[in-house]
Amino acid sequence: MTQTNSEPVKFEKDTVLVIFGASGDLAKKETFPALFGLYSEGCLDPSTKIICYARSNVTVEQLKKSCLPYCRKSTTGNDEVKMKKFFNMVSYIQGQYDTDDGYIRLNDAIEDFEHERGVQEPHRVFYLAVPPSIFLTVASQVKKNVYAYNGITRVIVEKPFGDDLESSRELQKGFKPLFRAEEIYKIDHFLGKDDVRRLLTARFANPFLNQSWNKENIESVQVWFKEPFGAEGRGGFFDSTGIIRDVMQNHLLQILTLATMEEPVSNDADAIRDAKVELLKCMEPLGPKNVVAVGQYGKSVDGKKPSYLDDDTVLNKESKCLTFTELTFAIHNDRWEGVPIIMRAGKGLDEDRVEIRIQYKKNTSGMFEGCTPNQFVIHFHPEPTIFMTFNTKAPGFADKLHQIKLDMTYDQQYKKEWVPEAYECLIYDAFQGKYANYVRDDELDVSWSLFTPLLKYVEGPNAPQPEIYPYGSTGPKGILE
Ligand code: NDP
């Protein structure tokens, strides 16, 4: 059965969700808490069957215990009872990823469930919460042994999907004969964040904003990702990833794309993704000329926090892995030609913040010539906030200009509402057949085309020497402000 973009089939009753790699870190910290969140807020039908699959010898009770610290309280209470009912929907199958045996048992379990419920057209979701090295192994086995030939299959694939253009294309090539494009849901969890989704509403449901976001009015666009902690405990992963792959090529590029793309022709998932791809195609591939600063954190000034290289989990003690990068982008289109677009990301910094800042130009004439320019800012983390700086007259007799904040802090505005977390949104969307907030192949392709030359440069023989900045500082000297 083929879905049309306008009428996605919603998975409601008797859906089967299989989590591969259910014994892992992501399942514990994100997948189960998100599923429990959806269930406890009435957004996951109690008739859903959740089957965990992994090689380890673990029980459902152990999985429950390990995810408990990460589960949010529901808005309606009685969580212990809800948790018990939720885990009654869960079962576990121990099996290998690369041989048929486990998948045959999985298929039996799925068919038994569907038979018992009298399901005519199976709805199956397979969540690949496993390391990328086995994405294709699991995907092939899904197609071979558990694909819903008489129903609808959706496959959620975790990130990263490749680590450069070549490996991403290789993976795409592997997936292509297995599943149709609308069956694959590739995650960039930033797209699940409610406040990232809000960017499109902020721009296009408030036309006055969008109409002023162009080269005539905007001085610069800046995206900032600041983490106050280092690679602690994850040095093995981070050392082969680096800050560019970890957050820039994916999460921050998504924010930048949503902030700068043209308005999609409709609310349709593919119209939104088309607009993103169009924008990405207007960017120049990144290389040495785009690098403003690169750094690696050293010890904190008080000596209490270790340097990146002192971290026990960083094995290469001569690693030049970047924990900080500042880049400039050029967007060659009518709207943005000549406007500096700046992206910065760093670990071991002085703050915990992810934001986009649209800096307006100075007022160059009239009675308030030169007054402090406006800014439009969205904080995605830690506290979702949108604010705009606004010039007004200070109170009193004097004609004094004063800049204030027009502030919308979401926790204050929507105190009583349940705001779904990123993974809750994404899993819910996959059940609804809404794939606008999942990454399409051509989008992945252009984003890797932009970043691969840069990665080759910073990881190649002529790589720039990272400047060592103190843990807990603002990063390397000389970054643009
Ligand atoms: P894990 O390393 O915890 O792996 C998940 C499970 O996969 C493990 O419990 C293990 O299960 C199995 N596994 C691990 N290594 C191998 C291997 N080499 N070969 C076969 N099976 C293996 O990963 P995470 O849970 O951290 O991540 C899962 C996916 O989610 C990855 O793609 C990751 O990039 C992505 N991700 C993770 C995030 C996180 O916070 N953890 C955040 C964002 C994305 P068993 O041995 O029981 O079969």
| pLDDT confidence of residue 478 | 73
Write down how long the chain is: 481
Q: CB under 8 Å to 447, separation ≥6 — which residues?
A: 249, 250, 253, 280
pTM of the model: 0.94
Considering the candidates 189, 251, 332, 381, report the single residue annotated as catalytic. 251
CA distance 345 to 426: 24
| pLDDT confidence of residue 409 | 82
SS3 351: coil
Span 139-163, pLDDT tens digits: 999 999 999 999 999 999 999 999 9
Q: Angle, to 10 degrees, between the axis of helix 441-459 and the axis of helix 253-260?
A: 130
Number of neighbouring beta carbons within 10 Å of residue 56: 12
- Ligand 1 near 309 CB (within 6 A): no
| pLDDT confidence of residue 195 | 86
Cβ neighbourhood burial of 435 (10 Å; 0-12, 13-18, 19+): buried
| pLDDT confidence of residue 383 | 87
Q: Angle, to 10 degrees, between the axis of helix 60-67 and the axis of helix 79-88?
A: 140
**Run of H or E including 220:** strand 218-226
State the sign of the Cα–Cα–Cα–Cα dihedral 77, 79, 80, 81.
Answer: positive
- Ligand 1 near 236 CB (within 6 A): no
| pLDDT confidence of residue 416 | 77
What stretches of 157-288 show up as alpha helix (H) in DSSP? 165-175, 194-204, 207-212, 235-243, 253-260, 269-281
107 φ, ψ (degrees, to nearest 5):
-60, -40
Rounded to whole angstroms, what are the CA distances from 469 to 127, 244, 298, 354, 407? 39, 17, 6, 20, 33
| pLDDT confidence of residue 40 | 97
Omega before 382 cis (within 30°)?
yes
- Ligand 1 near 158 CB (within 6 A): yes
Compute, in angstroms, the gap from residue 102 CA to the centroid of ligand 1.
Answer: 18
Compute, in angstroms, the gap from residue 130 CA to the centroid of ligand 1.
Answer: 4
Picking from 95, 120, 118, 90, the residue whose alpha carbon sits closest to that of residue 106 is 95
Q: Is 351 left (phi over 0), alpha (psi -120 to 50) or beta?
A: beta
Q: CB under 8 Å to 381, separation ≥6 — which residues?
A: 352, 353, 354
Compute, in angstroms, the gap from residue 132 CA to the centroid of ligand 1.
Answer: 8
| pLDDT confidence of residue 410 | 78
Picking from 14, 30, 22, the residue whose alpha carbon sits closest to that of residue 424 is 30
370 φ, ψ (degrees, to nearest 5):
80, 5
Domains annotated on the chain, with CATH: 16-158 (3.40.50.720), 191-416+440-470 (3.30.360.10)
ipTM confidence: 0.99
CA distance 452 to 329: 14
The distance in angstroms from the start CA to the end CA of the chain is: 53
SS3 87: helix
The atom number, within ligand 1, closest to the CA of 23 reads 9
SS3 327: strand
Compute, in angstroms, the gap from residue 86 CA to the centroid of ligand 1.
Answer: 23
What are the structure tokens assigned to 15, written together?
């859906």
| pLDDT confidence of residue 398 | 85
- Ligand 1 near 234 CB (within 6 A): no
CA distance 280 to 283: 5
CA distance 481 to 473: 15
Number of neighbouring beta carbons within 10 Å of residue 457: 18
Q: What is the dihedral of CA 133, 139, 144, 147, to 10 degrees?
A: 160
- Ligand 1 near 422 CB (within 6 A): no
Q: Kindly give the parts of the chain with pLDDT less than 50.
A: 1-4
| pLDDT confidence of residue 6 | 61
What stretches of 126-228 show up as alpha helix (H) in DSSP? 135-141, 165-175, 194-204, 207-212
Which amino acid appears at position 123 of this protein? H
Picking from 3, 1, 17, 52, the residue whose alpha carbon sits closest to that of residue 124 is 17
Is the CB of residue 265 less than 8 Å from the CB of residue 271? yes
Compute, in angstroms, the gap from residue 158 CA to the centroid of ligand 1.
Answer: 10
- Ligand 1 near 67 CB (within 6 A): no
The atom number, within ligand 1, closest to the CA of 160 reads 34
Q: Any catalytic annotation for residue 251?
A: yes
Q: Is 25 left (phi over 0), alpha (psi -120 to 50) or beta?
A: alpha
Pocket test for ligand 1, best of 26, 31, 240 (most atoms within 8 A of CB): 26
CA distance 84 to 325: 46
